Structure 1
Amino acid sequence: MTTNYPAIPDDFPREPAKGAVGGYQPKVLLRRAGDRLISGLTDEELFKRYEACEDLVQQLASYVRRQRAESQSQSLFDTLSRIEIDATRKVTSGQWDISPAEITWTMKRVRELLAEKLKADGTPGMPET
Structure 2
Amino acid sequence: MSIDRANYPGVPEDFPVTAALSAVAGAQPKMSLVEEGGEFYSPGTSPSEVIAAFQMCDDLVSQMVRYCQRKLATFEGNQEATVKAALKGLLAKRWCTDAQCVWIMRRVVDELQWSVGESVWGI
Pairwise same-fold verdict (TM > 0.5): yes
Percent identity at matched positions? 28
Distance in 1 between residues matched to 2:75 and 2:91, nearest whole Å:
24
1:128 aligns with 2:107: no
Give the CA RMSD over aligned residues: 2.7
Larger Rg: 1
Summarize deviations over 1:47-83 as a string: whole Å, max 9, x none.
1110100110110011111223x45724111111111
Distance in 1 between residues matched to 2:74 and 2:85, nearest whole Å:
14
Question: Does the residue aligned with 2:14 lie in a helix, a strand or coil?
Answer: coil
Distance in 2 between residues matched to 1:8 and 1:39, nearest whole Å:
17
Distance in 2 between residues matched to 1:78 and 1:72, nearest whole Å:
6
Q: 1:45 aligns with which of 49, 66, 69?
A: 49
* Corresponding residue number in structure 2 for 1:82: 85
TM-score (norm 1): 0.68
Distance in 1 between residues matched to 2:97 and 2:75, nearest whole Å:
32
Amino acid paired to 1:83: A
* Corresponding residue number in structure 2 for 1:100: 98
1:30 aligns with 2:62: no
Summarize deviations over 1:69-107 as a string: whole Å, max 9, x none.
x4572411111111111111111xxxx2x1112112111
Question: Does the residue aligned with 1:32 lie in a helix, a strand or coil?
Answer: strand
Inter-CA distance 74–48: structure 2 relative to 1 (3 Å threshold): same
Structure 1 segments unaligned to the other structure (5+ residues) = 119-125
Asked if the contact 1:17/1:39 (under 8 Å) is kept, the reply is: no
Distance in 1 between residues matched to 2:9 and 2:33, nearest whole Å:
26
Distance in 2 between residues matched to 1:37 and 1:30, nearest whole Å:
10
Structure 2 segments unaligned to the other structure (5+ residues) = 1-6, 119-123
Amino acid paired to 2:117: E
